[in-house]
Chains A and B, each alone.
Chain A
Amino acid sequence: MGLDRMPGRSYAGLMGELVLTLETDAVASDDLRHALAEGTVGHVSAARKSHLDGSAETVILIVQVATLAASSVPTILLPFLNRKRVRKFKCGDIEIENPTPEQVEQLWERCMKAQAEG
């Protein structure tokens, strides 16, 4: 077996994983989804969110990140955070609205630490 992902499967489950949830605007969602899938060797699920108030559609991304690749997450997210494309970032029991790169880095560190400690 090479390094290609198996169809419909993630290596994340084999190596321990972190689950990360993002809400992003629809314009950036495809790019973000691909960047996360490639950069974390993880599985990314997406769902379009349409709202009663007719506001712009957003996309929810659920990312199962292999712990071995977890440290790359803040770097992958950085350009999207700088362009204010991420509406929500959630990991574990904390959720941040309109997160800054610093907030993401801090929360992600905390999640990785919690995962390492089991």
Chain B
Amino acid sequence: MKVGGLDRHLVSAAILQPAMFGPENFAGDEWVESYMRAASRLLDLEVRTYVTWQCPPDVFVLAAEDAGLVIRSERLDGLLVEMLTLHDVQSLLGGQLLEEVSQSAVLRWMSEFLIGYRRPALAVTALRNRPSLDGLQVQIHHAFRDELLDSRPLLERTAVQCISVGHEMRHLVEDVDARYDVWENIDGIPVISHIDFDMRNVDKVDDDSLQRFHAFVSSTVDATRLVKEIHADLFAVDTVLEFCLRAFDCRSEDAVRSTLAAFETLVFTYFLKNACRLVAELSTGSKRRDEFDRALVLENLQWVARGRAVARHIGLSWAQFDNSTPEGALIAARQNVARVDAMITERLAGRLANNRAFDHAVQALLDTLERSGKEQITVAEALAHVDSDGDLRKELYFMLVGFGCPGSVDVRTYLEDADRTVHTVQA
């Protein structure tokens, strides 16, 4: 089916070249389609959905005059599913093996995002920094989308596919003029309490230090954006949880577990993508190193707040699903918030390994950048590595096939084009 009228211009303008796009027909994803229909009705929103391919993982929304447009790349769902698989693999590993498997996956994803931010030299560097896992039969990445999606149980896979869409759809109805500060209440608790939780409960800092921290947060965090993101997160987890319960007739605990895992996956994906955007901005000189460091700290604070707000909210929602009386729900709420905390703790070792892998990966990329922000490795040098290293070329080739590029795709040409600022638009 062809895309006509204004949508064609809007989507074409919004996607990265040389990406292609068309109306999403949800082939093999009928549960995602069903979720989107339900979420659209709930939000009283006309939504048209497009799928893009030949591009890195991404999802975004366009608030057009007559409808909301949701544009998802084919690759995004696959990447989220890979993260779920990594969680499982990590639970079987320890020591150096855990570190190297996590580093390998994180660097591969960063490489994809860096291609998306048109930094092919950094993308090649990230891929070359991966530890060798020769001889280890760990199948986290698949080149083919269907194979990848089928590798996970339906409940988990649906939750992870729907949560990013639900989050983005909620943004379509947000009040663009609304303004918030860090004292805004979410489920009866101010956002700042999620941000300073560790300082109060783990570090047990004194009141003066806490006040100084509050002043720092108030003056640096974009509270309006943070609160709007939390609103979108809460809508996504609520609707995905309820959808899974109704669609799959599963135990509420399983639906909660899958929704929580989906959100956790989303958090790490977003964080990784944001960090790659910051590295890209540093490498082009549009951010200085001190600005980069500060932005990364603020990203961290943002995700801490969002993660805590969502974890608490899921516990409260769970109580309502399982109890028809207010009294029962009130008692269950306390218990369920604690049960959700326990679920989060189950994947702690893997999460910490991912964080260490991220720190390691970012440090290695920063080492390739000069103080001025210029890349030490040029695109020509990166392409020379691609030409001379068959394994690297093969890795990049399967990455591009995973993006939805045709089998005839030429790695060198794709990377060269990613480096240009002037692009020829696909017909």
Contacts and interface: CB of A to CB of B under 8 A. Distances in A.
Given A48-B63, A54-B274, A62-B6, A23 B176 contact: no
Interface stretch (B9-17, B137-145, B379-387): B9-17
B13 A96 contact: no
A58 to B, nearest CB: 9
B181 interface: no
A contact patch SS: strand
Contact of B10 (A47, A50, A95): A47
B168 interface: yes
Interface in A70-109: 88, 90, 92-99, 103
Contact of A96 (B76, B277, B421): B421
A69 interface: no
Interface residues of A, number: 28
Interface in A27-48: 45-48
A70 to B, nearest CB: 17
Contact of A53 (B9, B63, B64, B274): B274
Given A49-B62, A51-B60, A62 B13 contact: yes
Interface residues of B, number: 37
30 contacts: A21-B9, A22-B13, A46-B65, A47-B10, A48-B62, A49-B60, A49-B61, A50-B61, A50-B63, A50-B172, A52-B59, A52-B60, A52-B168, A53-B273, A53-B277, A55-B274, A55-B277, A60-B62, A62-B6, A62-B9, A90-B13, A92-B425, A93-B424, A93-B427, A94-B422, A95-B17, A95-B424, A97-B118, A99-B421, A103-B422
Given A50-B172, A54-B225, A55-B274, 10 more contacts: A47-B62, A47-B63, A49-B14, A49-B61, A52-B58, A52-B273, A54-B229, A94-B424, A96-B422, A97-B422
Interface of B: 6, 9-10, 12-14, 17, 58-65, 69, 76, 118, 164, 168, 171-172, 176, 225, 229, 269-270, 273-274, 277, 302, 421-425, 427
